[in-house]
Amino acid sequence: MDNVSTVRIFNLLAFNETANYRAALFSATLVCYFAIVFLNVTVIMIIVLDESLHEPMYILVCVCCINGLYGSTGFYPKFLIDLLSSSQVISYSECLCQAFVMYSFVCSDTSILAVMAYDRYLAICQPLEYHSVMTKKKLSKLVCFSWLTPFCIFSINIMLTDRLIFCGTDIQRLFCVNWLIVKVACPGMDTLVNSAFAYTTLSIYIFHWIFIVWTYIYLVKSCVQSKKDKAKFMQTCVPHLISLVTFFVIVISDLMHMRFASNDVPQSFQNFVAIAVLFIPPVMNPLLYGFKLSKIRFIKTFFLNCK
């Protein structure tokens, strides 16, 4: 990127607390990353290869797992390299790229959860119209919306950041996020546009969460009145609901911590909050859907294939 800024390298200062146990942390992180790749690829392959799973609900699970791999790959390889390095630095262009991946991963996950909620609403509350409404063409459009919208939004976000001149080089995180990059811009730089666009983006995804909450409230009210709908809700919606609540708590905790946390909070706790969204959902989602959704249950399928 052709930026007039003389700052070409950023320091990731959050690694200072890891100096005494980097070998153990590297081993644990490597195992974690392999587990994320194995679990998500397993669910993806089962859904792709089994034609009986080519239904909207399972295709959305597949999309969710692909997004988990995308976000994890944007963080873990660089993190593992930094654990083995004497200095934890990242180039300006790599920092912007990583910030783009982190934000688009989180927002894509939010959009996918919104589409999942809409799919379950149709399947349970409007079962007779489900197949005519949730067609392959419409599903393709919704999936494209889930991915392309965050990519477009954060491309603009990164371009707005790229126009700034930077005087600071220190980022108090294990990885780059756009808000912290903007914070090290030189005094006097016009960051008002960045802030306005960031709050606009936040508003867009707040509406996603409002839609999801409204949908599940309506689903719960509808299912209480019917034993059949209640059984369907427990079987297909509970994994989505657990995934949703977990993801919501993690993201909100990270946002609140990044914006308002005191400097007195231990760095190790700050690091845990920062990487929770890159560890818990990518591990939990394939396990949750793999065990709970009867048509997948990849552990059972794996052992049957071994026989």
Query: Has residue 3 been placed in a domain?
Result: no
Query: Has residue 2 been placed in a domain?
Result: no
**What's the rounded Cα separation, in Å, for the pair 206 and 110?**
10
- In three-state form (DSSP H/G/I as H, E/B as E, the rest C), the secondary structure along 258-295 is HHHCCCCCCHHHHHHHHHHHHHHHHHHHHHHHHHHCCC
Q: What does the DSSP assignment read for 155-216?
A: HHHHHHHHTS-B---EE-SSS--HHHHHHTBPTT---HHHHHHHHHHHHHHHHHHHHHHHHH
**What's the rounded Cα separation, in Å, for the pair 201 and 6?**
29
Pairing of strands 89-91, 9-12: antiparallel
Residue-wise pLDDT for 190-208, tens only, equals 788 888 888 898 899 999 9
Residue 258 has pLDDT above 80, yes or no: no
Q: Is the dihedral of CA 144, 258, 5, 11 positive or negative?
A: negative
**What's the rounded Cα separation, in Å, for the pair 141 and 144?**
5
Looking at residues 265-269, what average pLDDT do you find?
Answer: 74
Query: Has residue 272 been placed in a domain?
Result: yes
Residue 5 has pLDDT above 50, yes or no: no
DSSP structure class, residue 300: H
Query: Has residue 307 been placed in a domain?
Result: no
Residue 234 has pLDDT above 80, yes or no: no
Name the residue type at position 63. Answer: V
Looking at residues 154-165, what average pLDDT do you find?
Answer: 89
Question: How many domains does the structure of the chain reveal?
Answer: 1
Count CA within 13 A, CB hemisphere, residue 176.
28
Residue 48 has pLDDT above 50, yes or no: yes
Residue 3 has pLDDT above 80, yes or no: no
- Model pLDDT, residue 49: 85
Query: Has residue 24 been placed in a domain?
Result: yes
Q: Find the domain containing 105 and state its range.
A: 9-302
Residue 120 has pLDDT above 60, yes or no: yes
The separation between CA 38 and the C-alpha centre of its own chain, rounded to angstroms, equals: 18
Report the number of secondary-structure helices (H) and strands (E) in the chain. Answer: 11, 3
> Nearest to residue 301, comparing CAs of 116, 56, 31, 289?
289
Separation of first and last alpha carbons in the chain: 53
Query: Has residue 217 been placed in a domain?
Result: yes
Strand partners for 137: none
Each residue of 179-202: b (16+ CB within 10 Å) or e?
A: bbbbebbeeeeebeebeebbeebe
Percent of the chain with pLDDT over 90: 27
CATH classification at residue 293: 1.20.1070.10
Residue-wise pLDDT for 15-41, tens only, equals 876 667 888 889 999 999 999 999 999
pTM for this entry: 0.86
> Nearest to residue 100, comparing CAs of 155, 152, 166?
155
Query: Has residue 170 been placed in a domain?
Result: yes
Query: Has residue 1 been placed in a domain?
Result: no
